Amino acid sequence: MPANKTKLLAAALLVFNILAAVTIKLLGHTVAALLPDCLLKTATGLNCPSCGATHAIKRLTDGDVAGALYYNPLLVIVLALYILWCVYFALRAFGLLKSFKIQYRDRYLYAAAATVLLFWIVRNLPLYRQFLY
């Protein structure tokens, strides 16, 4: 991708992330009330990997990291990795980071899928539920 387009994309990504955070902060409770209940949890009583994500994001926008971890620890970790990737992408786009380059590997995708699956299993174990609830 040409350098100018990469810089524009990095700037657009920054603006999008800021707008998303402000929107969630201002409208979080309103939007959460409009969202349907989790179909898996309603049908089976089990939490899906994204159960609690809306509450976790709202807690994060309120600055309550511990509360966010309570609702969905996987989401907090994924958001932290996303923020790190955005910083990395912006630094690379503006030429401030030249010596370090992350290469995409299929094993990263497999590791992410395995992590989500493991989280899904563990968060539905009685010990996990007893520990948190």
Q: Which pTM was predicted?
A: 0.78
Task: For residue 81, give the nearest of 40, 116, 51, 35 by alpha carbon.
Answer: 116
In this structure, what is the dihedral angle of CA atoms 80, 86, 91, 92, given to the nearest 10 degrees? Answer: 120
> 16-43 pLDDT, tens per residue?
888 888 887 787 667 667 778 888 888 9
How far apart CA 61 and CA 53 sit, in angstroms, is: 12
pLDDT digits (tens, 9 = 90+) for 58-111: 888 889 999 999 999 999 999 999 999 888 888 888 888 887 787 888 999 999
